[in-house]
Structure 1
């Protein structure tokens, strides 16, 4: 539902904040367009960004540098370049808009607020400026101002929900709980509004002291959206809010029953585990939302979390940074911001965000694991290893630590250490393995497979499937490995086909099916599947390389060379580059090598493609934790 919502918003003339963020704002003035346009002969070139914004001598240069920085998601540099462009044209509102949004995205709220005040009468950006000014009014407890600024009667579904919820919390800030709940009830919209209205209505009632109403609305949020619906983060917040409410009311068993409901959806969600421990210890957990400011921050957070997917990074960042203004220490918001920084390959910023998460937060452990992975992303592998090893020593029973450490070892191709790491994890698990541990045995199998110790690898893949039958990644890896080694061919193909059926839009798994057909000499079927895999994953070097091989085998040799050349442009692994270059130069031998236990000498064995864990939907994680690289590529 929300995917369609985002697509509708992206195509709407009334997209408000999103339009401004993704560059669909009001057209630039003619003079700005002319200044920004590069010479015709240089139209295909990407302008080099000067290191020093002050050295740029023209509006056009500064604007092009800023836009390039935007494309590169280098917001800090973009701010400097937009500011430089504004120095050449101080009245240019389009540049002010972009600079304002860049300041907010970078967490520089005060600077963004100054520009929001300057632009408050500009209709092309009023949804953004009104929101920013409303956050400032909330911070200052100017609740009447909030209601005035966010009095929205337009058709945009996102703006209507956001404005309505924030105005309801502002009314609560004035001590008018019943009126705030009436405003919630009057918000009309599509079906996906339901969980947001029920959660925030329940939270308003709880903050206003109406326990019965809070219980009813929070129950509705949970039961009407069983399994999380389109907003799993909000679903889990509703679970925790209701459990804490029941505990404070002395209903311990009712609280634990609610927690069990949440654990069915997400068994290892750290805040929920911490809440259970607190309630079982007889404590009365405090409410996460006590004030109108807390509530408004939760509005921005819950909507951002629901929108958090590829292509929506800018709008999500805006909402989370505004939520941070109102609730600076909220760990869930910080975790999401850290994940966004990682997605934009800004590891230093991600580390700083994770370090800011309070020491006593249940999310602190997740932040520490992510911090270790970001150290590795920065090339500080030894430091990352030492850091993650210290986390394992601090809590040897936390399987997440082994997965994070194993991820670093896998990226560094240190498979001996990777295997030893998972051996230790399996020893800790002992005879108590259950579905939660499938990935430990999967990763252990990968480590031994990479070490070419199949007799050690295979039992771990089978154990993983025993714990989690029909897990697509395991089916894909084991099935492909069998086919590649010319053993258990029928069962192996059946596994890969089952993985594709479970994950039909996963380009990596579809690639495995195509490449398995190739290894068995069914080249026409290989072409069919690999073409689909390339459609799903057009920027993957390995998949394009595989399609080139299949084209060659069916006689489509010009297309084969094109695919190989394309694969070279997509940053293949270093050891694959000379192999691809040789194919471009000489093609493939007329007689293809048979599938062998070692994958054949002429067409080097490529491990089965597996999905990037960032994009997997089967893991029951509500926040982007350490799963980024836990499946070896």
Structure 2
């Protein structure tokens, strides 16, 4: 009876730790339950899954050794392969049915590591076009061939691999560029790193300075880590987030030097309400890394998401102080200040980012920074200066839908240059017909210009595309009420009230209660 009571308390504590995001503690508690009752496989499985999610691979591997291989969850099976590649403790590894699709790609890396690259490529050639990992075959061929020094054979696979890279484009560009340089084609490698992107610029600088570059991904464990990272990226949705985090943790275990795996793990930890663990990983990346800028961006998101604004501001200022020539650091500072409601200071930071870019620094297109500066100035109540910044963004990017919409809508709200405002928004909508926010702007412009029937149709289209956006539903309700369709208007306002906040929610509630009036009309 005492064991049952203590076991129940331990189980409750384990569940609470897991719910709180403390996966390591949950794993240890579940493991103690599994040790006390070896016949209860469910506790062992819980312990194993939590250990992998928490990155406690020594515990996870110990638990794997205590369980039948056939009953292991997918993430544990993948961890076993990683251990095999690191230790080669047995003649071969096993691929249960759940992960059989991994066999040819892992096998190709094992062959490549033994300098049997021709056999490795042939093995990849055998992957069916409809296989789960078929989309990764071009990048795997390119990486294996570059590791073997066969740059000419690798070249045809590089662009198809980059086209399918999703969020790993920078990582693959750097890996391909380094591989080309290691094979004696430094200029070809540097060509892959051209552009304004700060990560690629940093990588190009490092590569140009290296006397004897070596391939970034050249071993079976490194290749396997890249495979798992790609899988984790593809699974990063609400339903697959837990498995994605497990795969990212195994990828880090397979290749502890992979900054891409570290960044992905940190982002997934933060989305799993484990911001402290995410920050620990992010801050372990050295400032000399090409991915330092991406790590800093991620750190700001974690801190702001946790409402640690003052800490975010201190870190952003420290980044600027370390090198005030980096546009990215000024942009991060501006974003933090803007999030804190200090819009005038944010605009000044964005202005410094403009100066850094005009001096030849890496970073986004200049128009986008002028747009940010204009938006901050508008929020600060400095409309004449904001309009100048927005007009400059428009001159630099006259076909960009975001710029067209923002400038047009800002003028519409102020009742200025209404013909031009509507024309700008209409052009934005033509260029981005599926953007619900831009469609809403067009409908609101039509409403402001007295085109009521047309406005209702446009706003209904916007609401159908994004039914959760409060601003769209409020606009639709106002237009319907003005057309005498009061029941439908209240239905739209009630939909808006579901996601509306603060003063907007108060205004909508007043309309639901008393109808539309000049005092309750949307701006």
> What TM-score do you get using the length of structure 2 for normalisation?
0.85
* Counterpart residue number, 1:440: 369
Query: Where in structure 2 are the equivalents of 1:375-414 lying within 5 Å?
Result: 375-414=303-342
From the superposition, tell whether residues 75 and 500 of structure 1 become closer, same or farther in structure 2 (CA, over 3 Å).
farther
Alpha-carbon distance between aligned partners in 2 of 1:507 and 1:135, rounded to the nearest angstrom: 45
Matched, 1:603 2:506: no
Q: Is the 8 A contact 1:496 1:513 kept in 2?
A: yes
In the TM superposition, what whole-angstrom CA distance separates every residue of 1:202-229 from its partner, at most 9, and x where no partner exists?
322343xx322x4412x1222335xx32
Q: 1:281 to 1:537 in 2, by over 3 A?
A: same
Does the CA-based 8 Å contact 1:195-1:224 persist in structure 2?
no
Q: How does 1:224-623 map to 2 (within 5 A)?
A: 224-225=160-161, 228-233=162-167, 235-260=169-194, 263=195, 267-270=196-199, 272-281=200-209, 283-308=211-236, 312-430=240-358, 436-570=365-499, 572-589=500-517, 593=518, 601-605=519-523
1:150 to 92, 95, 104: 95
Q: How far apart, CA to CA, are the structure 1 residues paired with 2:486 and 2:47?
A: 50
Q: Aligned to 1:278, what secondary structure does the other structure show?
A: helix
**Count of residue pairs the alignment pairs up:** 518
Query: Which one has more relative contact order, counting CA pairs under 8 Å at least 6 apart?
Result: 1
Q: Measure how far apart 1:556 and its partner are.
A: 4.0
Aligned to 1:38: none
Deviation readout 1:275-329 (Å, 9 max, x if unpaired): 3223433623222123221121121123333554565433322221110111123
2:229–2:247 Cα contact (<8 Å) kept: yes
Question: What runs of 5+ residues in structure 1 fail to find an aligned partner?
Answer: 1-52, 594-600, 606-633
Distance 2:343 2:35 in 1: 54
Q: Is the 8 A contact 2:241 2:268 kept in 1?
A: yes
Contact 2:350 2:373 in 1 (8 A): yes
Q: In 2 relative to 1, CA 151–578 (structure 1 residues): closer, same or farther, beyond 3 Å?
A: closer
CA contact (8 A) 2:108 2:120 kept: yes
Which residue does 2:58 correspond to in 1? 110
Q: 1:278 to 1:383 in 2, by over 3 A?
A: closer
CA deviation after TM superposition for structure 1 residue 85, in Å? 9.2
SS at match of 1:211: coil
Distance 1:365 1:427, change over 3 A: closer
**Structure 1 residues 584 and 99, CA gap change in structure 2 (3 angstroms):** farther
User: Per the alignment, do residues 102 and 358 of structure 1 end up closer, same or farther by CA in structure 2, a change over 3 Å counting?
Assistant: same
Moved more, 495-504 or 395-404: 495-504
Q: Which residue of 2 aligns with 1:188?
A: 128
TM-score (norm 1): 0.71
1:192-211 to structure 2, matched below 5 A, reads: 196-207=136-147, 210-211=148-149
Q: Cα distance 1:233–1:386, how it changes in 2: closer, same or farther (>3 A)?
A: closer
Secondary structure at the counterpart of residue 215 of structure 2? coil
CA contact (8 A) 1:500 1:506 kept: yes
Q: Which has the higher mean CA deviation after the structures are superposed, 393-402 or 364-373?
A: 364-373
Which one is further off, 273-282 or 74-83? 74-83
RMSD over aligned Cα atoms: 3.7
**Matched position secondary structure for 2:193:** helix
The answer to which of 486-495 and 322-331 deviates more is 486-495
The alpha carbon displacement at 1:437 in A equals 1.8
- Match of 2:289, SS state, is coil
User: For the structure 1 residues 490 and 427, does the alpha-carbon distance in structure 2 shift closer, same or farther, using more than 3 Å as the test?
Assistant: same
Query: Residues 143 and 171 of structure 1 are in contact (CA less than 8 Å); yes or no, is this contact kept in structure 2?
Result: no
* CA deviation profile, 1:255-289 (whole Å, cap 9, x unmatched): 333434xx3xxx3141x323322343362322212
Q: Give 1:445 deviation, angstroms.
A: 0.4
| Displacement of 1:542 | 3.1
Match of 1:170 in 2: 110
Are residues 1:223 and 2:163 paired? Answer: no
Q: Deviation digits for residues 498-538 of structure 1, max 9, x if unmatched?
A: 33344344333333333333333444444433344344334
Give the structure 2 partner of residue 101 of structure 1.
49
Q: 1:441 Cα shift?
A: 0.4
1:596 maps to which residue? none
| Aligned-pair CA distance for 1:338 | 2.1
Q: What is the distance in 2 between the residues matched to 1:369 and 1:324?
A: 20
* Whole-Å separation in 2 of the counterparts to 1:246 and 1:276: 13
State the alpha-carbon separation in 2 of the partners of residues 578 and 126 from structure 1: 50
Q: Residue 376 of structure 2 aligns to a residue in which SS?
A: helix
Q: Is the 2:177–2:190 Cα contact (8 Å) retained in structure 1?
A: yes
For residues 343-401 of structure 1, the C-alpha deviation after alignment (integer angstroms, 9 at most, x for no partner) is 44543232112012234322123323432343333333222212211211222222212
- d(CA) in 2 for partners of 1:530 and 1:230? 36
1:338 aligned counterpart, secondary structure: helix
Q: Distance in 2 between matches of 1:563 and 1:76?
A: 47
Secondary structure of residue in 2 paired with 1:107: coil
Counterpart check, 1:131 vs 2:59: no
Tell me, yes or no, if the aligned pair for 1:402 and 1:422 is still in contact at 8 Å. yes
* In structure 2, C-alpha distance between the alignment counterparts of 1:506 and 1:84, rounded to whole Å: 52
How far is 1:411 from its partner?
A: 1.6
How much has 1:430 moved relative to structure 2? 4.6
